[in-house]
Amino acid sequence: MTPPRNQHHLATPSGRPRARAFLAFDGEPGPCNAITDVAGVSVGYTTLVEGDGALVVGKGPIRTGVTAILPRPRDDLATPCFAGIFSQNGNGELTGTHIVEETGAFDFPITITNTHSCGVTRDATLRWMHKVLPGALEGAWGLPVAAETYDGFLNDINGHHVTDAHVFAALEKASTGRIEEGSVGGGTGMIAFGFKGGSGTASRRVRHGATDWTVGVFVQANFGDLKNFSMRGRHVGEDLRPLLVEAKASIEKGSIIAIVATDAPFLPHQMKRLARRVPLGIALTGGFGYHSSGDIFLAFSTANRPALTAAKGSVAQADFIPDAAIDPFFDAVVQSVEEAILNAMIANEDMRGRDGHFVPALPKAWLTREFFRPE
């Protein structure tokens, strides 16, 4: 007997369809098919949608927001995580990269927003951390990870509408379990392959030895040329082009940020290796790292906490899965990235923004007709 499909894999908490409602994917997802399947990782959003009509800088229309990803439980956010970063195409920003390269670790929450609000979310994260864990910044410094992609086609990006309060709200609302996708948080005003993009997530379970580990991915998808767009190995861009008659979204300012999380024990050089596999998942959807696309990726592990909190003067010990056994985790990253991007696009709706600019969502009727295949 075929087991029933996991409804959490098919729809977001608000009922929007996810990619698995239409498509079959490789690999075994976690319970929520989300980055939050990695124990201790939580995600929060603040979504800002206000106004219509002609752009008035400072007033709107507003189509933006902020996403917060907490790599550890709130009380443990000052504990570093082993991490690695990779920039496929550096026409973008992810702060804190230098210390990750130098020490192989980072701490504090991650934020993702629009290009002109990246500094706001970084600084607000420090203010929030000083409030909730004041001891973490006493006599020390913080270098939070903050990332961005451009939403100026739909949003009054020069109006600087994201404030400290919006960042605090996203951080406070961060939760485990199922999360929304599509035009939420930092992904609110984003575009992918000419269609509505935004926030997407997916996960995979990986067996190593006698243990099941989890790899989770979160993307802010704002990239891609329609002519290259592919879904599960099928080039669909030209099929979809007639559906973009009204849309005039530029691809020249697109980017994608990806955050990879795992509970598997890996060392920093291995986390960098996982981050380097993100572009392979992007390529499966037709993203080729064009000139103006900021394609920047962070991978982290929640394992090895004792090694990362060892006292000065001690000798720390860390567990790690051997490099020779890492290939299934590469598979998990590639599979999760591909699905997270398609989730960001499919769990979405049409959006009209500044100056009447219009971006359609992938049509559900077209998806049903062309791809619907029950698992």
| Residue from 117, 293, 301, 336 carrying the catalytic annotation | 293
The reply to whether 301 belongs to the active site is no
| Residue from 255, 263, 301, 336 carrying the catalytic annotation | 255
Distance of alpha carbon 265 from alpha carbon 302, whole angstroms? 8
Residue type for position 274: L
Find out whether 176 and 74 touch, Cβ atoms under 8 Å.
no
> Environment class of residue 98 by beta-carbon count within 10 Å: exposed (0-12), middle (13-18) or buried (19+)?
exposed
The reply to whether 203 belongs to the active site is no
Q: Which two tokens stand for residue 249?
A: 């979204």
99-to-124, 139, 203, 268, 303 alpha-carbon distances in Å? 19, 18, 27, 12, 19
Q: Is 51 helix (H, G, I), strand (E, B) or coil?
A: coil
Measured in residues, the chain has a length of 375
The reply to whether 117 belongs to the active site is no
Contacts of 143 (CB under 8 A, 6+ apart): 95, 96, 99, 106, 108
SS3 content of the chain, % helix, strand, coil (to 5): 35, 25, 40
| Residue from 37, 107, 156, 295 carrying the catalytic annotation | 295
Distance of alpha carbon 64 from alpha carbon 314, whole angstroms? 46
What residues are paired with 192 via a beta bridge? Answer: 195
What amino acid positions are annotated as catalytic residues?
255, 293, 295
